[in-house]
Every structure is written in structure tokens, then in C-alpha cells.
Amino acid sequence: MYVCLCKGITDKQIKAAINEGADSLGRLRKALGVATQCGKCSAMTREILSESLETTPSINGLPQFYAVA
């Protein structure tokens, strides 16, 4: 699903950036350019970010990622 129509950014792209370490809206802006024009996508982007971070395993507040072969 497209989240940012101005930049053509999908929810899958946002989730991929989160999995690569983008843990804030600011980092998603730098990585993808999301929410840099009209800003209407910022609420949905924050929702995706929040849901993704809730489901990411963490130790001492740091996300734990592992490679899958």
C-alpha cells in the first residue's frame, strides 16, 4: 500500500527501512524521504513505525536483528 504519494513510498519500503535500523520518523525521512513534502503521510508512517518497533525483539531497549539464510 502506498503511504507517501508525493514520493511513491510503500509500507513495505518503510518496514524494510525499519528493519535496517531506522527507529524514528527522522531516520525514515533521511532514509526514504517520507513526510518531506506535504506531510499527510506522517501519521501513517508513525503508526507503521510504532507497530514495527512493538513487534521487534529488543534487549535493553536495543532492537535485535538476525540474518536469515
In the chain, the number of structural domains is: 1
Mean predicted confidence (pLDDT) in 3-15: 96
Residue 13's contacts (CB-CB under 8 Å, 6 or more residues apart) are: 32
68 is a domain residue: no
36 is a domain residue: yes
The two most distant CA atoms of the chain are separated, in Å, by: 39
Report the CATH number that the domain containing residue 20 is assigned in CATH.
1.10.10.1100
Determine the pLDDT at residue 62: 62
Structure pTM?
A: 0.79
69 is a domain residue: no
- Banded pLDDT at 13 (limits 50, 70, 90): very high
23 is a domain residue: yes
Mean predicted confidence (pLDDT) in 46-51: 94
42 is a domain residue: yes
Could you tell me which of 25, 53, 20 has the C-alpha nearest to residue 39? 25
What confidence tens digit (pLDDT) does each residue in 15-29 have?
Answer: 999 988 899 999 999
